[in-house]
Amino acid sequence: MPVSARGPLDRRRFLAASAGVALATAALPGCAASVDSGSGSGGGGKTLTVMTLVDEWDAKTKRSIEKMLDVTLRIITYDVTKLNAMLASKNPPDVVRGIGATDAPYFAARGLMTDLDPYFAKSEVLKVSDLASANDVWRFDGEKQGTGPRYGLAKDYSQDSMFWYRTDMFEEAGLELPSDTEPLSMDEWLDLGERLTRRRLGKVKVYGLNATGMGVFSQLMWMTASAGGSVFADDMASVDFSSPEALKAIQWYARYAKADIGPSLLNPNPDGWDGPTYQASRMAMSCSGFWFGGVIAAEPKLTEVSRFAPAPQLGGHRVSPCFGGTGFWMPKDAQNKEAAWKLFEWYFAGQPAKDRAAAGWGLPSLDSLRASMPKENAFQKQAYAVQEQEAAYFSVLPVSPYAQTDALNGVLSKVLPDAIRSGTKPGKIADALNSRMNEQLARGKELVG
Measured from the CB of residue 100, what is the shortest distance to another protein in angstroms? Answer: 18
Measured from the CB of residue 214, what is the shortest distance to another protein in angstroms? Answer: 14
33 contacts another protein (rule: CB under 8 A)? no
Measured from the CB of residue 117, what is the shortest distance to another protein in angstroms? Answer: 22
Please name which of 101, 131, 99, 132 lies closest in space to residue 16, comparing C-alpha atoms: 99
Range 167-206, binding another protein (CB under 8 A): 201-203, 205
Range 264-303, binding another protein (CB under 8 A): 267-268, 270-273, 275-276, 280, 295
Q: Quick check: helix, strand or coil at residue 249?
A: helix
Is-contact 195 208, C-beta < 8 A? Answer: yes
Indicate the residue among 258 and 443 with the shorter CB distance to another protein.
443
Indicate the residue among 202 and 300 with the shorter CB distance to another protein.
202
Work out which of 45, 174, 423, 449 binds another protein, going by CB under 8 A.
449
The contacts of residue 15 (CB under 8 Å, 6+ apart) are 273, 275, 291
263 contacts another protein (rule: CB under 8 A)? no
Is-contact 310 389, C-beta < 8 A? Answer: yes
Is-contact 10 405, C-beta < 8 A? Answer: no
* Stretch 392-431: interaction string toward another protein, x if CB under 8 A: ------------x-xx-xx--xx--x--------------
How many residues line the site for another protein (CB under 8 A)? Answer: 63
Phi-psi region of 300 (alpha: psi -120 to 50; beta: other; left: phi over 0): alpha
Indicate the residue among 93 and 325 with the shorter CB distance to another protein.
93
Task: Give the Å distances, CA to CA, from 349 to 57, 403, 431.
Answer: 17, 32, 47
Alpha carbon distance 295, 67 (integer Å): 33
434 contacts another protein (rule: CB under 8 A)? no
Q: What is the DSSP string of 133-191?
A: GGGGGGEE-SS-EEEEEE-EEESEE--TT-EEEEHHHHHHTT-PPPPSSSPPBHHHHHH
Q: Using CB under 8 A as the criterion, which residues of the chain lie in contact with another protein when the complex forms?
A: 1-8, 10-12, 14-15, 18-19, 22, 54-55, 76-77, 79-82, 84-89, 91, 110-112, 201-203, 205, 267-268, 270-273, 275-276, 280, 295, 404, 406-407, 409-410, 413-414, 417, 440, 443-444, 446-449
